[in-house]
Amino acid sequence: MRSDQRYSIFTLIGGAVRAHRNWKPAWRNPQPKKQYDVVIVGGGGHGLATAYYLAKNHGIHNVAVVERNWIGGGNSGRNTAVVRSNYLRDISIQFFDKSLQLYEGLSRELNYNIMLSQRSEVDVLLTTVSMRNMRRRALNMNRLGIEFQMLTPDQVRQRIPILAPMENCRLPILGGSVQERAGIARHDAIVWGYARGADSYGVDIIQNAEVTAIRRGEDGAVTAIETSRGRIKTNKLAIATGNENAAVASLVDLRLPLRCYNLQAFVSEPIKPVLDVVVNCPDLGVYLSHSDKGELVIGGATDAQQISFRKGGKFPMLEDTVSGLLELFPSFRRLKLMRQWGGALEFAQDGSPIVSATEVKGFYVSAGWWGGFKAIPAGGMTFAHLIARDEPHPLAAGYGMERFSTLNYLLEGGTTVPTD
Amino acid sequence: MLLIHCPWCGLRAETEFRCAGPVKPPRSEFIDKSDEAWLEYLYQADNRRGILEEYWCHEKGCGEWFKLRRDTATHEIMDGDTDS
Ligand SMILES: Cc1cc2nc3c(=O)[nH]c(=O)nc-3n(C[C@H](O)[C@H](O)[C@H](O)COP(=O)(O)OP(=O)(O)OC[C@H]3O[C@@H](n4cnc5c(N)ncnc54)[C@H](O)[C@@H]3O)c2cc1C
Ligand SMILES: [Zn+2]
C-alpha cells in the first residue's frame, strides 16, 4: 500500500478539517498498455482478488483487470453478502474456511473496512432430511477442527426470539445448527478494497472494456485479446467473468460444463433491530439478515429448473420465499418490501467451483461460483497461484476441470434447499 | 406470472409446469460412440443467453410432455411445439 494513500484515524480527522477535499481516487483509471504478463477478464471480486494476490504473493505486477462495465457491477454487487464455511466435502470445507479466515484479516490487510460482522448463521431445521444434512456437515467439519454445531429447538429459540411460536404449525422446529464465525461483509467494500490493493501494486484496472475476441498463435496458445478499448497482448489470460464464463470460453472454442440459474433477493423497509444473527431455513427456502441500515435482507432458493440469465426475479419464486418467511416470522406480515432484484448464478455440473488451466495454452478459468461471494479471498488466492506457477494451489487441487473426464465428481449442495 | 400453453389444456399458470431442461439429441446418439461423446452427454447443457428449446411437463395438470421455446434472458415464452 502506498503510504500517501493509507487510511487511518489521522487521515480521517485531516479529511474532516479540510471538508473532505483531500481524498484522492482509491485507484487509477489508466489507459491500457500494449502488453501485460497476465490479463484477467472480469472486474468482480474474484478477478480483482486474483490480481491482488498475483502481485502480492507472486510478485507479478504487470497485470491488467479488464471489465466491460464498472468494477463490482456484476454479481459481486448484487449478492446478500453471507459468508460461512459449512460445506459438505472435505475439500470444500477447507477451501471455504480458508476464505473465511482470510476475510477475518482482510480489513487490516487491505487497510479498508470490509465491515465483516461475524454475527453467526443459525439454520432453523424443520425436517429430518435437513437435520441429517446439517449433522453430517457438523461431523465432517468437527473432524477437520472447524466449528459448527447442532442446536436443540430451545437453543434455536433463544438465539432467534422473534421466531413464530409454531405450536400448531405444519412443520415444528426439530432443531438447528450454527456456525458462530459465519456472518456478513460489505460486498462493495470487498471489490473496492481488492481493487485499491491491486492498484497500489501497479495493477491496471481497465473499465468499460469488453472482451470480444481472443487471438491465438499457431500452437493454439493465447496471444492477445480484442476489447472495445483496443487490442491487448498477453500470454496468460485468466477469466473470472461471473455468469459469462461459458460465453467467454466459447471464444477459444472451449465448452465449459456450466449452467446459469436465477436467484433473487429483496429488502424490506427499515425497522428497529429484531435479528442479530443470519437466519437460514432450508426447508422453507429462505434466509435473511438485518442490515446496519435496518432493512431486512432476504434471499430465496435458487430456481434450479430453468436456465436463466435474467437479472430480475420471478413472481412465483418471490411468493414462495415470502410465504416461507411469514411461516417463520408471522410478525413480519405487514412489512413492506422496498427493492427486489435477481441474478444468474453459475453452477458446474457437480456444484463445485472450477479453478483450472485448460487445454488451451495460457487460458485459465475460475468459474461455477454460485455462492461465491464468500469464496472471493480463497478463490483469488488459489487462482493467482495457478496462473503464476502453472500448478494448482493445494487447497484447490480438486477443482480442476479434469474431474469431469475422470468422473471425480465433487458433489456439493447449498444450504438454502435441503440436499441429500 | 407467466401463462404457458399446454397442448392439451391450453393456457395455464407457470407454477403448474415443470421445466426439464434444454432439448438434447437422444441418449442413443451418444452412448455407443466414444467416451468423449458420453461425457458430452453427461455434462454439457445448452447454457445459452437467448432463445432455448426446452422440454416442459404439465406436471400439476394433465401430465403432458411437450417442447417450447423460451428466452433465457427475459423468460419470455415463445409458442410451444404441439406435436411432440
Ligand atoms: C441474489 C444473489 C444473492 C447472492 N448471495 C450470496 C451470498 O449471500 N453469499 C455468497 O457467497 N454468494 C452469494 N451470491 C453469489 C455471488 O454474488 C457470486 O458468486 C460472486 O459475486 C461471483 O463473483 P465473480 O467475481 O465471479 O463474478 P461477478 O461479480 O459477476 O464479476 C464478473 C464480471 O465480469 C464482467 N464481464 C463479463 N463478461 C465480460 C467480458 N466479455 N469482458 C469484460 N468483462 C466481462 C462482468 O461485467 C462482471 O463485472 C449471490 C448471488 C445473487 C445473484
Ligand atoms: Zn395440460
Q: What's the pTM?
A: 0.96
* Whether pLDDT at B83 is above 50: no
Question: A46-70 burial string, b = 16+ CB within 10 Å, else e?
Answer: bbbbbbbbbbbeeebbbbbbbbbee
Task: Give A251 Cα–ligand 1 centroid separation in angstroms.
Answer: 20
pLDDT digits over A166-201, tens only?
A: 777 788 999 999 999 999 999 999 999 999 999 999
Q: Which residues line ligand 1 (CB under 6 A)?
A: A 41-47, 66-69, 73-76, 78-82, 210-211, 240-242, 244, 248, 263-265, 299, 342-343, 345, 369, 371-374
Per-residue pLDDT, averaged over A386-412, amounts to 93
Please name the CATH architecture into which domain B3-79 falls: 2-Layer Sandwich (3.30)
- The DSSP result for A168-187, as a single string, is S-SS---EEEEETT-EE--H
More confident residue, B42 or A254: A254
B1, B14, B72 ranked by CB distance to A308: nearest: B72
pLDDT grade, residue B80 (50/70/90)?
low
A257, A258, A305 ranked by CB distance to B19: nearest: A305
pLDDT grade, residue B26 (50/70/90)?
confident
Strand partners, A23: none
Of A45-49, A161-165, A405-409, B67-71, which gets the smallest average pLDDT? A405-409
ipTM rounded to 2 decimals: 0.91
- Count contacts between A and B (CB, < 8 Å): 48
Helix (H, G, I), strand (E, B) or coil at A277: coil
pLDDT grade, residue B84 (50/70/90)?
very low
Q: Tell me how crowded residue A343 is: count the other CB atoms within 10 A of its CB.
A: 24
For residues B21 and A411, give the distance between their C-alpha atoms in angstroms, rounded to a whole number.
20
C-alpha cell, A292:
446496519
pLDDT digits over A5-17, tens only?
A: 789 999 999 999 9
User: What pLDDT score was predicted for residue A312?
Assistant: 85
For residues B44 and B38, give the distance between their C-alpha atoms in angstroms, rounded to a whole number.
10
* Whether pLDDT at B61 is above 90: yes
Cα angle, residue B69 at apex, residues B65 and B71 outer, rounded to 5°: 135
Q: By the 8 A CB rule, do A379 and A52 touch?
A: no
